[in-house]
Structure 1
Amino acid sequence: MLAIMHSLFLYRHFILSSIRNELVTKFVRSKLGGLWIIINPLSQVAIYALILSNVLAAKLPNIESTYAYAIYLMAGLLAWNLFNEILGRCLNLFIENGNLMKKMSFPKITLPTIVLGSSVLNNALLFIAMMFIFAILGHSFNWVLLWLIPLTLLLATFSLSFGLILGIFNVFLRDIGQIIPIVLQVWFWFTPIVYPISIIPEKYHQLLMILNPMYPITSAYQTIIVYGKTPELKNGLVIITIISLALLILSLFLFRRATEEMVDVL
Structure 2
Amino acid sequence: MSRLNLSYIIEITRRDFAERFAGSVLGSMWAIIWPMINLFIYIVIFGKLMGARLPGTSEMNSYGIYLAAGLIPWLAFSETINRCASVFPAKKHIITKVNTSFLALLLHINLSETITYVISMLVFFLILLCTGYEFHISLWLLPVLYYLQQMLALGLGLIAGVLNVFIRDVRQITGVILQLWFWFTPIVYIVDILPEPVRKIIMYNPAFRLIDAYHKIFAFHSYPSFKGLWVLAVVTHLILFFSFLMLRYLEKDIRDFL
TM-score (norm 2): 0.89
Unaligned runs of 5+ in 2: none
2:96 is aligned with 1:96: no
- SS of 1:57's equivalent in the other structure is coil
Q: 2:252 aligns with which of 249, 256, 260?
A: 260
Cα deviation per residue 1:211-258 (whole Å; 9 max; x = unaligned)?
Answer: x21001000011112223221123x32222111111111110011111
With over 3 angstroms needed to count, the CA separation of the structure-2 counterparts of 1:229 and 1:44, relative to structure 1, is closer
With over 3 angstroms needed to count, the CA separation of the structure-2 counterparts of 1:20 and 1:32, relative to structure 1, is same
2:23 is aligned with 1:29: yes
* Contact residue 56 and residue 196 of structure 1 kept, 8 A: no
Whole-angstrom distance in 1 between the partners of 2:180 and 2:118: 26
Quote the residue 2:124 is aligned against: 130
State which drifts further: 36-45 or 110-119: 36-45
Cα deviation per residue 1:34-73 (whole Å; 9 max; x = unaligned)?
Answer: 3444526953872798579888934x24432211111110
Quote the residue 1:73 is aligned against: 67
* Contact residue 87 and residue 106 of structure 2 kept, 8 A: yes
Q: 1:183-202 to 2 correspondence within 5 Å?
A: 183-202=177-196
Would you say how many aligned residue pairs link Structure 1 and Structure 2? Answer: 257
* Contact residue 45 and residue 74 of structure 1 kept, 8 A: no
Quote the residue 1:216 is aligned against: 209
- SS of 1:192's equivalent in the other structure is coil
TM-score (norm 1): 0.87
With over 3 angstroms needed to count, the CA separation of the structure-2 counterparts of 1:231 and 1:184, relative to structure 1, is same
Unaligned runs of 5+ in 1: none
Cα deviation per residue 1:137-164 (whole Å; 9 max; x = unaligned)?
Answer: 2222143211000010000110000000
With over 3 angstroms needed to count, the CA separation of the structure-2 counterparts of 1:81 and 1:42, relative to structure 1, is farther
State which drifts further: 60-69 or 162-171: 60-69
Whole-angstrom distance in 1 between the partners of 2:167 and 2:39: 32
The percentage of counterpart residues that share the same residue type is 30
* Contact residue 90 and residue 160 of structure 1 kept, 8 A: yes
Quote the residue 1:246 is aligned against: 238
